[in-house]
Amino acid sequence: MPDFSFELEIGGRVAGVDEVGRGPLAGPVMAAAVVLNPDDIPEGLNDSKALSAKRRAVLYAELMARADVSLGSASVEEIDEHNILRASHIAMVRAIAGLLVRPDHVLIDGNMVPRGLNLPATTLVKGDARSLSIAAASIVAKIRRDALMVDLAQQHPGYGWETNMGYPSKSHKEALQNIGVTPHHRRSFKPVHNILYQEK
């Protein structure tokens, strides 16, 4: 279970940062930055993947009310231009920049500090299962990206985005073949690229 030990050891205002959406074939990559109030941390924070949808929604509402929360994203165009790793780092930097108060230190899920982050930072592999701040960021990022994909599914029915969130499920890949590529698909990702540039 994640705890607050990293934040306490570092001291000051520590932001946890996590991204969601590196694997999908469609939609942006999103990152969240969260600075928890040490005296008012919602109970039950955990890696978003370990929580039920109902519990995630409750914790999301509590975080929005009780923490400094910011979201950043990188578009499909930016993913195709830079690559998914760089785009996820761009989203992280944007999320951190959007916080109401500039943090003293950033805890980042993963093993790389994003380029252009002009703040002291520590990387934590599997950070969403180790740090409460990163766990909080994982919840916010997932809730917001899922909501966006459900919205996009209304505009582009048939791909199952309301359930697969743009990930390469069997039905999503079949829809790509049968319906074609939308403006929200990542053209640099192999299954999409292969359909666009099929050898005649």
Residue set of the binding site for a divalent metal cation = 18-19, 109
How far apart (Å, rounded) are the C-alpha atoms in residues 191 and 176? Answer: 8
- Output phi, psi for 98, to 5 deg: -85, -5
List binding-site positions: 18-19, 109
Residue 32's identity, in one-letter code, is A
Asked if 91 and 74 count as a contact pair (C-beta separation under 8 A), the reply is yes
Q: What is the bridge-based pairing of β-strands 14-20 and 29-35?
A: antiparallel
Q: What CA–CA distance (Å, rounded) separates 109 from 51?
A: 18
> Which residues lie across from 68 on neighbouring strands?
35
Interatomic CA distance for residues 102 and 108, integer angstroms = 15
Taking the alpha carbons at both ends of the chain, their separation in whole angstroms is 52
Q: Phi-psi region for residue 86, left (φ > 0), alpha (ψ -120 to 50) or beta?
A: alpha
